[in-house]
Chains A and B, each alone.
Chain A
Amino acid sequence: MRGRISILLVPLAASALLPFAVFRANRIAAGEPRSLIETLGTAGASAALLALGLAIAALMVIRQPLWRLGVAVPLLVSLVLAMGWGAARLGADAPTAARIGPGAGFWIALTLAGLLLIDALARLRPGPAARLGFAAGAVALVWLLLGSGVLAELSVMEEYRSRSAAFWREGGRHLWLAFGSFGVAMAAGVPLGIALARAPRLRQPVLGALTAVQTIPSIALFGMLILPLGWVAANLPGAAALGIRGIGMAPAFVALLLYSLLPIVANTVAGLTGVPRSVTEAADGMGLTRRERLWRVDIPLAAPVIVAAARIVLVQNIGMATVGALIGAGGFGTFVFQGIGQTATDLILLGALPTVALAFVTSAVLDAAAGLLPGAAP
């Protein structure tokens, strides 16, 4: 039965036949495919094919997840490096307006190498500390690759260079939107959850209303909040001075806050009501007051479930903050929607890639954090 996963190696091998890079005369021109040989030259392509062949052969034989990981990671890194070198090579004798981006072959190989990596990781089943270490390693590696300048000739990096100031400004706004609204939601949601855990009759209506809010499509909620926030800005003294306006950050912030409440409140309630009765009775029996029991017993035991909610909310916020760009809230979504407007793939990627990376890292870190908590299930 074992070895069926090797089927993934077939498209990995086939990807070498597809265009490795895409050449554009300028940033919005139609792309022309460039094969592996055209991109890397005969010598470079031979070396790349040899490396790919070796990796595939190794993955066909090796069954140990840790060793498979040891093949998949270098494969992934060398793919990215090859892309960087290829872009530099193609860019060397092209006009400055020309852009070189990854082609279908690169994307397919990257996806499959990623799948093999994920499979090895999933089989390794690392503990929370190891997962945290792996996430840190991945971030460091990406940082190193981006900082080294090997990828500088890639079209996405060209887009970045021409608007690096805007990139970091929008990135800051994106973080503020996602994490700021999350912070406020935690401050409001956890106490609300505690209250609901004690008042079962209010639970259903409140959670029902929050579910309804979560069901509302983001663009609709963003849009509809323009109205009340515009009113607040116009009628509440000092509100406008605080930066509250009908469009912009304020409605996006409030919308994300509203979306965040359901997972936080629901999981706080579930975590607290999930504390085994024997434990709460033992705590009461030892004479803990209600407040002492809450802080020393109930909340520590509910913490993993609440952290799970934090992960869901942050991943959701990071994704939805992109939509905020439509109502002028800024964030990485600005590049995505500008890119869609100009049909500039690289600009879309400039917005989408950091968003996805941010969501991945946040999810991995919080997932591991939940596992490190003392109340976590083993």
Chain B
Amino acid sequence: MRPAGVLRLALLALTAAFLLFPALFAPMLRPLAPPNMPVIYDRASLSSLALSHLALVAAAIIPSALLASALAILVTRPAGAEFLPLSRALVGFGQTFPPVAVLALAVPVVGFGTWPTLIALFLYGLLPIFENALAGLTGVSGAVRLAADGMGMTPGQKLRRVELPLALPLMIEGVRISAVIAVSTAAIGSTVAARSLGEVIIAGLNANNLSFVVQGGLLTAALALIVYEALGMVAEAARNRLGLPAEPASRPAG
């Protein structure tokens, strides 16, 4: 197995062990907790917090991916072409909007709890997925489109057989970016009472309990890395299945 594979497995195993048997790690964290304070977060089980963190992300990103892909398909059809410049510009503008601001502004509208977080994750998740789906769909070469038309594919056949498969790896990449941002924003969502691992960090900050801060931080980071790696593997599998060349090692952002 390659070193990256070993690292991934080790990360997964350690995270699972911490979530299921946190007491095993208590001796290591003991020095960080103030005297007479719990070492391991005790107001909820870490595993249930991790699960609800993931559930939040999934519940926001799945509809986000569906809507963003549908919108990207729409604006790349002749019927929606008039909205293409606007939507491109909006994606550019929208991404300068900090996720925290989206979260904070959702609170006055829908109140505390899960909803503002879900809304913020959903809205912010749209942008990277839409942007990547758009890049994927418009990136299909002119010759390939011309050939598809010339072979007598109907617009629907061209979309399903040619454009969507070719755009898929980039679309998954967009979902990956959105999901990682969502894991991060969901953690901050604990400031508005969403159930996530961020709760542990915030409890630690409020109570000056570094042990909480560190265990919450490590678990949240591990969760983000696991999501990132898992979706990276999905993207790679999609590329392999489609027989497309692997992604270049470094490409410029922006």
Contact = CB atoms under 8 A, between A and B. Distances in A.
Contact of B86 (A115, A322, A362): A115
B105 A315 contact: no
B249 A204 contact: yes
Interface in B154-209: 180, 183-185, 187-188, 191-192, 198, 201-202, 204-205
Interface in B58-112: 78-83, 85-86, 88-90, 92-93, 95-101, 104-105, 107-108, 112
Interface stretch (A45-53, A140-148, A292-300, A333-341): A333-341
A283 B54 CA distance: 53
A220 B101 CA distance: 18
Given A207-B250, A267-B252, A327-B205, A220 B216 contact: yes
Interface string A329-363: 00001001101100101001101100110011011
Interface string A266-278: 1101110110000
A339 B104 contact: yes
Contact of A359 (B80, B98, B254): B98
A123 B86 CA distance: 8
Closest 4 CB pairs of A and B: A319-B98, A217-B184, A308-B254, A122-B85
Nearest to B95: A315
B183 A217 contact: yes
B212 to A, nearest CB: 9
Contact of B225 (A1, A216, A267, A269): A216
Given A312-B253, A319-B100, A219 B228 contact: no
Given A227-B32, A305-B252, A318 B98 contact: yes
B221 interface: yes
A32 to B, nearest CB: 14
A167 B46 CA distance: 38
B74 to A, nearest CB: 11
A269 B250 contact: yes
B180 A215 contact: yes
Contact of B187 (A118, A217, A359): A217
Given A119-B86, A319-B100, A356-B96, 14 more contacts: A4-B80, A115-B90, A118-B89, A122-B85, A216-B220, A220-B224, A223-B216, A224-B213, A224-B218, A227-B214, A266-B251, A315-B95, A340-B192, A362-B96
What band does the interface of chain A fall in when counting residues whose beta carbon is under 8 Å from B? 35 or more
Nearest to B84: A122
B96 A1 contact: no
Contacts of A207: 249-250
A340 B221 contact: no
A218 interface: yes
Interface in B201-254: 201-202, 204-205, 210, 213-214, 216-218, 220-221, 224-225, 228, 249-254
A283 B3 CA distance: 40
A345 B92 CA distance: 26
A309 B253 contact: yes
A48 B56 CA distance: 43
A343 B107 contact: yes
A2 interface: yes
Contact of B210 (A226, A271, A351): A226
B191 A340 contact: yes
B254 to A, nearest CB: 3
Given A219-B188, A345-B108, A352 B214 contact: no
B101 A352 contact: yes
Contacts of B85: 119, 122-123
A345 B97 CA distance: 18
B108 A348 contact: yes
Nearest to A366: B254
Contacts of A345: 107-108
A216 B107 contact: no
Contacts of B204: 223
A323 B188 contact: yes
A189 to B, nearest CB: 13
B205 A360 contact: no
A309 B254 contact: yes
Contact of A271 (B78, B86, B252): B252
Contacts of A166: none
A219 B203 CA distance: 12
B109 to A, nearest CB: 9
Given A215-B224, A340-B191, A267 B253 contact: yes
B82 A311 contact: no
Interface in A34-49: none
A312 to B, nearest CB: 5
B105 A270 contact: no
Contact of B93 (A1, A118, A343): A118
B29 to A, nearest CB: 11
A154 interface: no
B186 to A, nearest CB: 8
B101 A355 contact: yes
B78, B90, B100, B201 pick with most chain A CB within 10 angstroms: B100
A203 interface: yes
A48 to B, nearest CB: 24
A266 B101 contact: no
B170 to A, nearest CB: 17
Given A305-B252, A337-B191, A351-B104, A319 B99 contact: yes
A305 B254 contact: yes
